[in-house]
Amino acid sequence: MYIAAATDRVSIAPGWSRAAAAEIHRLGEVPAANVGDALQRMTVVDGGIRLFTGHAALLGNALTVDVRSGDNLAVHRALDEARPGDVLVVNGHGDITRALIGDLIGEIMVNNGVVGAVVDGAVRDVRALSAMGLAVYARAVTPAGPFKDGPGAIGVPVAVGGVVVAAGDVVVGDADGVVVVPRHRVREVVDAVDGIGEMEEALRRRILAARPDRPVVTG
């Protein structure tokens, strides 16, 4: 860690599996809505978790963190466990009084190859995070900083935006929001998304074909 703080109250789960980039890249090429449809819309993070940075594309493996409301010590410790392509997924218990991620944590994320974050809580320094190329979704923004006392847990299942996320699940985000793909269903979803896109395109063609001609306005 880059901060001097005791972490004896932060627990770390045993190692978890991550999907390889080649295994999941297709999920980053289609709308998050299509990914959600492939999962029967059951693992779509609620709309209260919104994008706060200019970079909307998010695809990676969940690095899960459970924190006490308003305290980000476990987030700092979690970044020591990060691997390139990870996404921080933080259960901040919906507390929006103190930001759990800011520009300094963003710098550490960039150093470690973490591509973004989904926070059921608040963040700050969103312009700086955006300039770093990070996709950051959260419930709110506040300038108030966090405590760093713990406790917390890393690599455990967490609840974020009404969805249970396990470490190593795949997180997909775009301008519409975030979808979580359970690790054991990645292949199923990859195989399904193209068919969903084809069905939507066929329906779109029928809608456009039925559109009445509009008179041309001149002068």
Give the model's pLDDT for residue 219.
55
Give the model's pLDDT for residue 218.
63
The span from the CA of 117 to the CA of 135, in Å, is: 6
Give the model's pLDDT for residue 25.
96
For 215, counting Cβ atoms within 10 Å of its Cβ (0-12 exposed, 13-18 middle, 19+ buried), the class is: exposed
The H or E element containing residue 196 is: helix 186-209
The CATH classification number of 10-209 equals 3.50.30.40
For the entire predicted model, the pTM comes to 0.94
Give the model's pLDDT for residue 197.
83
Listed in sequence order, the residues at least 6 apart from 73 whose beta carbon sits closer than 8 Å to its beta carbon are 5, 7, 9, 10, 67, 147, 148, 149, 150, 152
- Digit-by-digit pLDDT tens for the chain (219 residues) are 999 999 999 999 999 999 999 999 999 999 999 999 999 999 999 999 999 999 889 999 999 999 999 999 999 999 999 999 999 999 999 999 999 999 999 999 999 999 999 999 999 999 999 999 999 999 999 999 999 999 999 999 999 999 999 999 999 999 999 999 999 999 999 999 999 988 888 888 888 889 887 665 665
Give the model's pLDDT for residue 213.
75
Pairing label, strands 177-181, 170-174 = antiparallel
